Chains A and B, each alone.
Chain A
Amino acid sequence: EPEVTQTPSHQVTQMGQEVILRCVPISNHLYFYWYRQILGQKVEFLVSFYNNEISEKSEIFDDQFSVERPDGSNFTLKIRSTKLEDSAMYFCASSEGGGYASDTQYFGPGTRLTVL
């Protein structure tokens, strides 16, 4: 069964460093999402992406965050200058449809980011 994959599974970085979290969505899916979950807290929406541009972003997704689909398969989340409070599990998700055609999102296994 097709699945969303994410790498790395765990990333440790120093405060102020840049990190790139990678996701490979399900191949025929067109909508991509990033979420984060701080330990013990709820899942929070960060951004959605369609047709090579951001379609929606939350207030968490400030200038230090960016997303990119550098090729036909990868979808990346970059955090430019990490802060301690960026430590969280970051989930990528993809869906076949979106917009007017609400569709199920399939989540990747997550990347645990630890900022020291």
Chain B
Amino acid sequence: EDKVVQSPLSLVVHEGDTVTLNCSYEVTNFRSLLWYKQEKKAPTFLFMLTSSGIEKKSGRLSSILDKKELFSILNITATQTGDSAIYLCAVERRTGNQFYFGTGTSLTVIP
């Protein structure tokens, strides 16, 4: 059964801390892994990863994929209160257009 597992389920940090969010997957015919940030309603896209070992960066956020060990991490440095959200990992299968989401990591950044 295809599945995506995220850890930790929740995390509380102070502003300025660095956090690492984990996503492991077991999905047949893997095509890509995506990270989303979900604040109040709809998820907003952060990164799409298709190749192992190539880090993607956007400001204080970065992510990398390991297709051999079947996981990805999302790093956030110098966290701010605006980073508080649920971070979702989703994996796309090569066959069809189906995406599997993890349960998300709830990040709370306190001042």
User: Do these two chains really belong together in a complex?
Assistant: yes
Chain A contacts to B: CB under 8 angstroms? 31, 33, 35, 41-45, 48, 50, 55-56, 58, 89, 91, 98-99, 102, 104-110
Q: How far is the CB of B31 from chain A (nearest CB, A)?
A: 5
A109 CA to B43 CA in the complex, in Å? 8
CB <8 Å contact, B42 and A91: yes
> Does B23 reach chain A (CB closer than 8 Å)?
no
Our pick among A41, A58, A105, A107 for the contact of B103 (Cβ within 8 Å) is: A41
Please, which residues of chain B bring their CB within 8 A of the CB of A31? Answer: 97
Alpha-carbon gap, A35 to B101, bound state (A): 10
Select one of A43, A55, A107 contacting B44, CB under 8 A.
A107
Q: Given B50, B98, B103, which contacts A56 in the complex, CB threshold below 8 Å?
A: B98
Q: Give Cα A37–Cα B31 distance, bound, in whole angstroms.
A: 23
Closest A residue, CB atoms, query B32: A102
Inter-subunit contact B98/A110 (CB<8 Å): no
Task: Indicate if the CB atoms of B98 and A58 lie closer than 8 Å.
Answer: yes
Given known contacts A42-B101, A107-B44, is B31 in contact with A55 (CB within 8 Å)? no
Kindly list 16 other residue pairs between chains A and B, CB separation below 8 angstroms, not including A35-B99, A35-B101.
Answer: A41-B103, A42-B88, A42-B102, A43-B101, A45-B98, A50-B97, A55-B97, A58-B98, A102-B31, A102-B32, A105-B34, A105-B99, A106-B45, A107-B36, A109-B42, A110-B42
